[in-house]
């Protein structure tokens, strides 16, 4: 190891254009300033890695940090950065073994006290012997707070401290923590709106219909300053979905899919996943704009992907399938989008729910009765396999929705309203989710549709408004609200709602700020 005699230098990115040899192109990833003692020749790769790390482009970030290590094997923060790519706080993913292997390759000593604190902060995160992830995350957050307090002018310490706060609940919404995280990140954003971490973490903090307007400036800035990070382009749509800005949702996710495809192509990867996070949000935006053909095209690609062992994603497939049919009302398209999901039992409740729901619409209640009996037994027995979006409570909502529809078909209208009201009440007790509705058929919306059918217009108005509070400008709920308002004789509400629907549905092809 060569002696540590050089003085720390200031690594400053004055433009958002950085070389990315791995992808064979230049990438615009935002801007930041990060003082460090690495070799001047390693700065481009190191800063590229940090920019990508802030945008959760973990694989690309790890490659950039390794390139910096090759140039400067004594560069402590290059090893810190690569180790950081193995902790994905908001996603709840963590690979301590891989991170410890990275740190084991570093045989040097940090050149400055500040860099030593960065390295020391990794100890509670990756140390063996701390089995509880919640406790590990808490200790890491405290270490990042100490680093931030020791160097209050270090925007990177502040940004990663904000992320450590958001990571305390592994993506489960906790308004107190999220507001704390936003308060820590906000000064960085105010000083530098092109900082990818500050903008990104503010978006996560305000990612719900109540707070989303506070995150809109960060979403606009993030989309404009970081066009070459797929996750950054998609992330802006978290705010757009929460505000019902469907033009921007579609545009952001078209951009995200394009960036991912370009990066894959640059690496010689020909398999393009059409069932993932970004395509599913793009599809949902098309559905809200009632662009049925565009949404169906995405669903067809997702269907074809199921036969590709390198491209299938049963979870997103089942969600996309349900939204395509439920939001468009295309009951005759069920067989067009079907697949054997025996290898993915965790998604079976939602797959069975859609099949049963469509069968009821076709006048066949047998699948619904079988689904209700089976899944109630599984949930009550505590044997249900879970994913982040299919939980026992979500399955209960689905079963009560099916039971409510069966009761309606049997002429038991009060039982139907009671069951659907129970589903809506349970929905209100669950953590506020980000993105498209976690309940595939929002229970307030279904309750509104049944009340509308029964001619109980004022109650239907309340139900549709409840749906729109959780999913602003959701078109099926808006259409229900307009119909209920006309039935109730509220011409003003009906006309206002109709105007909103026209703004959404006739927006196709209109230019928006995002993605220009």
Condensed to tens digits (0 to 9), the pLDDT of residues 42-65 reads 999 999 999 999 999 999 999 999
pLDDT of 508 > 70? The answer is no
pLDDT of 516 > 90? The answer is no
Single residue among 309, 339, 369 that ends a domain in this structure: 339
Q: Which domain holds residue 251?
A: 243-339
270 with 182, same domain: the answer is no
Single residue among 205, 234, 263 that ends a domain in this structure: 205
d(CA 324, CA 183): 38
277 with 188, same domain: the answer is no
170 with 63, same domain: the answer is yes
pLDDT of residue 433: 79
Q: Is residue 364 part of a domain?
A: no
Mean pLDDT of 442-462: 98
258 with 124, same domain: the answer is no
200 with 251, same domain: the answer is no
132 with 256, same domain: the answer is no
Q: Is residue 385 part of a domain?
A: no
Helical residues (DSSP H) of 192-268, grouped into ranges: 196-205, 212-225, 230-243, 246-266
Q: Is residue 396 part of a domain?
A: no
267 with 158, same domain: the answer is no
* CATH number of the CATH domain containing 194: 1.25.40
Indicate the number of domains in the chain. 2
pLDDT of residue 273: 63
182 with 259, same domain: the answer is no
Q: Is residue 72 part of a domain?
A: yes
List pLDDT tens digits, range 368-411. 999 999 999 998 887 777 666 688 999 999 999 999 999 999 99
Q: Is residue 353 part of a domain?
A: no
- Surface-to-core class of residue 387, CB atoms within 10 Å of its CB (0-12 exposed, 13-18 middle, 19+ buried): middle
Strand partners, 36: 9
Q: Which residues contact 15 (CB under 8 A, 6 or more apart)?
A: 31
192 with 253, same domain: the answer is no
Q: Is residue 154 part of a domain?
A: yes
d(CA 322, CA 315): 11
pLDDT confidence bin for 229, thresholds 50/70/90: very high
Q: Is residue 150 part of a domain?
A: yes
> pTM value?
0.91
190 with 48, same domain: the answer is yes
145 with 288, same domain: the answer is no
Single residue among 158, 187, 205 that ends a domain in this structure: 205
Pick from 451, 423, 458: nearest CA to 437: 423
Mean pLDDT of 437-448: 96
Mean pLDDT of 466-476: 98
Q: Is residue 96 part of a domain?
A: yes
128 with 271, same domain: the answer is no
């Amino acid at each position: 190891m060569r002696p540590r005699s050089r003085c720390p230098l200031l690594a400053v990115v004055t433009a958002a254009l950085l070389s990315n040899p791995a992808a064979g192109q230049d990438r615009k990833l935002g801007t930041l300033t990060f003082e460090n003692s690495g070799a001047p020749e390693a700065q481009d790769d190191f800063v590229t890695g940090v920019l990508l790390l802030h945008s959760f482009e973990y694989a690309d970030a790890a490659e950039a940090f390794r390139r910096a290590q090759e140039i400067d094997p004594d560069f402590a923060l290059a090893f810190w950065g690569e180790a950081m790519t193995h902790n994905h706080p908001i996603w709840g993913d963590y690979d301590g073994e891989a991170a410890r292997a990275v740190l084991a390759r570093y045989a040097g000593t940090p050149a400055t006290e500040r860099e030593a604190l960065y390295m020391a902060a990794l100890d509670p995160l990756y140390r063996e012997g701390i089995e509880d992830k919640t406790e590990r995350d808490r200790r890491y957050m405290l270490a990042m707070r100490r680093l931030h307090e020791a160097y209050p002018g270090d925007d990177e310490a502040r940004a990663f401290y904000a992320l450590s706060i958001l990571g305390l609940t592994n993506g489960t919404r906790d308004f107190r923590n999220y507001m704390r995280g936003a308060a820590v990140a906000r000064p960085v954003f105010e000083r530098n709106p092109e900082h990818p971490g500050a903008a990104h973490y503010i978006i996560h903090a305000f990612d719900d219909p109540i707070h989303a307007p506070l995150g809109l400036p960060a979403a606009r800035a993030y989309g404009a300053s970081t066009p070459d990070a797929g996750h950054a382009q998609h992330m802006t749509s978290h705010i757009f979905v929460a505000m019902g800005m469907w033009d921007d949702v579609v545009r952001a996710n078209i951009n995200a899919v394009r960036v991912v495809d370009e990066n894959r192509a640059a690496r010689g990867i020909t398999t393009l996943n059409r069932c993932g996070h970004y395509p599913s949000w793009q599809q949902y935006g098309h559905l809200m704009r009632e662009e049925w053909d565009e949404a169906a095209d995405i669903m067809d690609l997702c269907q074809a992907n199921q036969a590709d062992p390198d491209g299938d994603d049963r979870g997103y497939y089942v969600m996309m399938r349900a939204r395509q049919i439920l939001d468009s009302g295309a009951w005759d398209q069920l067989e067009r989008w079907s697949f054997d999901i025996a290898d993915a039992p965790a998604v079976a409740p939602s797959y069975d729910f859609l099949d049963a729901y469509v069968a009821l619409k076709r006048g066949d209640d047998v699948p619904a009765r079988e689904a209700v009996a089976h899944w109630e037994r599984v949930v009550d027995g505590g044997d249900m396999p879970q994913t982040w979006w299919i939980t026992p409570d979500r399955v209960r909502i689905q079963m009560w929705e099916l039971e409510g529809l069966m009761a309606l078909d049997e002429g038991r209208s009060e039982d139907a309203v009671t069951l659907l009201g129970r589903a809506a009440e349970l929905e209100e007790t669950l953590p506020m989710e980000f993105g498209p509705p976690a309940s595939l058929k929002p229970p307030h919306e279904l309750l509104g549709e049944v009340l509308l059918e029964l001619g109980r217009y004022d109650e239907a108005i309340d139900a549709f408004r409840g749906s729109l509070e959780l999913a602003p400008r959701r078109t099926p709920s808006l259409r229900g609200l307009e119909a209920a308002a006309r039935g109730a004789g509220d011409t003003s509400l009906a006309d206002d709602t109709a105007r909103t629907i026209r703004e959404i549905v006739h927006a196709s092809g209109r230019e928006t700020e995002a993605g220009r």
